[in-house]
């Protein structure tokens, strides 16, 4: 019987474990198998892509479009608000530091922006348009409210921080409607601002007229009282002259003539003065005539609210050349991509299920 030990397998003799390399090779094989599965089912994947692209195409070509018209606005120029500024200065009157036209322009523009960007103003305008009435026809009150909310939320006022100008955006179903609605809205708000400002101006003018009229009445009363006092002084001087039998002026050496020594003018002169002073028009101060001019200007002021402009266009509303949505090309691409993902996912999922079942059958 031989004592030689039985020979060991080559792997054991060499001491190298080749099994460690098997998983990597298996991973490479699995990757190729996956690619092979996808290639075998390429028609299925293409079919999924075609189906989802068709669905996306149906949506893209049937969904409601949205177009947005924009305008860029700034404070009004002097020419467009000259009438309002004239009235404003009449109310302000004479002052050392009169309000400039730039100050009034900014005030009007701020009022316009405040009103134009308010929810109440926008919603009221939209609600009254034929555009909204057509869209909301047949809707329930709740549906109309949601539609109104959606339209209003898409109307934007954006201020440029550097220049201070505003960009106004108004959406609609067509480019023409978007331009028309934006133009009408700007005009409507401008008229409303004009009504508000001119209503306030009219009240201020009436108040200013009343104030000027009261000042004029006070100055006139003072002038009348002064004349009455002067007449009374002449009468008293005449009475003294008659008692003293002073017929002719006796003012020799007199330094100053006043009510206390007026009788020295003599009876004849005083009688002539008494007769003429009552026939003369009332002597009024320069201040009275200055106020009278202001009153006439205030009375003659004519409101130009229909021509007043609370803003100016830097860019007029125009029909947009591109729509906001739907983005047909993007929707079609995303539809095809989704179909590819779903198709490939389905193939790989079915392959995984098949491999699992095969492994279970082998182990059994």
pLDDT digits (tens, 9 = 90+) for 333-364: 776 787 778 767 776 777 667 667 666 666 65
Q: Report helix angle 175-243 to 78-92, nearest 10.
A: 30
Asked whether the predicted pLDDT for residue 105 surpasses 60, the reply is yes
The model carries a pTM of 0.67
For the ranges 70-74, 224-228, 271-275, 327-331, the lowest mean pLDDT is seen at 327-331
Q: Which domain holds residue 56?
A: 36-64
> End of a domain among 247, 265, 300?
300
Asked whether the predicted pLDDT for residue 24 surpasses 90, the reply is no
Does 292 reside within a domain? yes
Contact 171, 67 (CB under 8 A): yes
User: CATH number, domain at 253?
Assistant: 3.30.1890.10
CB atoms closer than 10 angstroms to residue 280 = 8
Buried-exposed string 124-142: b where 16+ CB fall within 10 A, e elsewhere: ebbeebebbeebbeeeeee
Beta bridge partners of 74: 312
Does 241 reside within a domain? yes
> End of a domain among 285, 300, 315?
300
The count of domains in the chain is 2
Q: Identify which has the larger pLDDT, 249 or 298.
A: 298
> End of a domain among 48, 64, 80?
64
For the ranges 6-10, 268-272, 298-302, 331-335, the lowest mean pLDDT is seen at 6-10
Does 343 reside within a domain? no
Asked whether the predicted pLDDT for residue 117 surpasses 60, the reply is yes
pLDDT digits (tens, 9 = 90+) for 50-70: 777 777 666 666 657 688 999
Does 266 reside within a domain? yes
Does 70 reside within a domain? no
Q: Report helix angle 286-300 to 78-92, nearest 10.
A: 140
pLDDT digits (tens, 9 = 90+) for 160-196: 988 889 999 999 999 999 999 999 999 999 999 999 9
Asked whether the predicted pLDDT for residue 298 surpasses 90, the reply is yes
Does 137 reside within a domain? no
Asked whether the predicted pLDDT for residue 46 surpasses 80, the reply is no
Buried-exposed string 256-272: b where 16+ CB fall within 10 A, e elsewhere: eeeeeebbbbbbebbee
Structure-token pair, residue 99: 């309000």
> What is d(CA 267, CA 249) in angstroms, rounded to the nearest whole number?
8
Q: DSSP letter at 72?
A: E
> What is d(CA 237, CA 289) in angstroms, rounded to the nearest whole number?
32
Does 182 reside within a domain? no
Burial of 353 (0-12, 13-18, 19+ CB in 10 A): exposed
Residue 169: helix, strand or coil by DSSP?
Answer: strand
Does 55 reside within a domain? yes
pLDDT digits (tens, 9 = 90+) for 207-262: 999 999 999 999 999 988 888 888 888 788 878 778 878 777 766 656 566 666 67
pLDDT for 21: 45
Burial of 187 (0-12, 13-18, 19+ CB in 10 A): exposed
């Amino acid at each position: 019987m031989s004592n030689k030990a039985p020979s060991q397998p080559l792997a054991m003799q060499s001491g190298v474990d080749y099994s460690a390399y098997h998983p990597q090779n298996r991973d490479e094989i699995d990757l190729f198998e996956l690619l092979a599965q996808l290639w075998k089912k390429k028609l299925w994947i293409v079919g999924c892509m075609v189906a989802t692209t068709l669905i996306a195409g149906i949506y893209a070509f049937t969904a409601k479009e949205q177009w947005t018209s924009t305008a860029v606005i700034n404070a009004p120029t002097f020419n467009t608000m000259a009438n309002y500024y004239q009235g404003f200065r009449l109310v302000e009157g004479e002052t050392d530091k009169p309000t400039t036209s730039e100050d009034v322009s900014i005030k009007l523009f701020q009022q316009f922006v405040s009103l134009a960007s308010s929810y109440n103003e926008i919603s009221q305008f939209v609600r009254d348009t034929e555009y909204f009435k057509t869209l909301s026809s047949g809707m329930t009150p709740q549906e109309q409210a949601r539609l109104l909310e959606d339209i209003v939320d898409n109307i934007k006022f954006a201020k440029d921080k550097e220049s201070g100008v505003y960009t106004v955006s108004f959406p609609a179903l067509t480019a023409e409607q978007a331009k028309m609605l934006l133009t009408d809205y700007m005009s409507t708000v401008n008229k409303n601002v004009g009504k508000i400002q001119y209503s306030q101006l009219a009240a201020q003018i009436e108040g200013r007229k009343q104030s000027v009229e009261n000042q004029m009445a006070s100055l006139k009363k003072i002038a009348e009282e002064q004349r009455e006092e002067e007449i009374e002084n002449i009468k008293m001087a005449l009475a003294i002259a008659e008692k003293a039998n002073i017929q002719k002026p006796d003012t020799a050496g007199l330094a100053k003539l006043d009510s206390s020594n007026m009788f020295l003018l003599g009876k004849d002169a005083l009688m002539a003065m008494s007769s003429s002073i009552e026939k003369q028009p009332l002597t009024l101060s320069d201040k009275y005539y200055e106020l009278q001019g202001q009153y006439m200007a205030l009375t003659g002021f004519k409101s130009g609210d229909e021509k007043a402009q609370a803003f100016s266009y830097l860019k007029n509303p125009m029909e947009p050349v591109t729509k906001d949505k739907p983005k047909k090309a993007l929707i079609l691409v995303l539809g095809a991509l989704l179909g590819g993902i779903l198709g490939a996912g389905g193939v790989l999922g079915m392959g995984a299920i098949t491999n699992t079942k095969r492994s279970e059958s082998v182990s059994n």
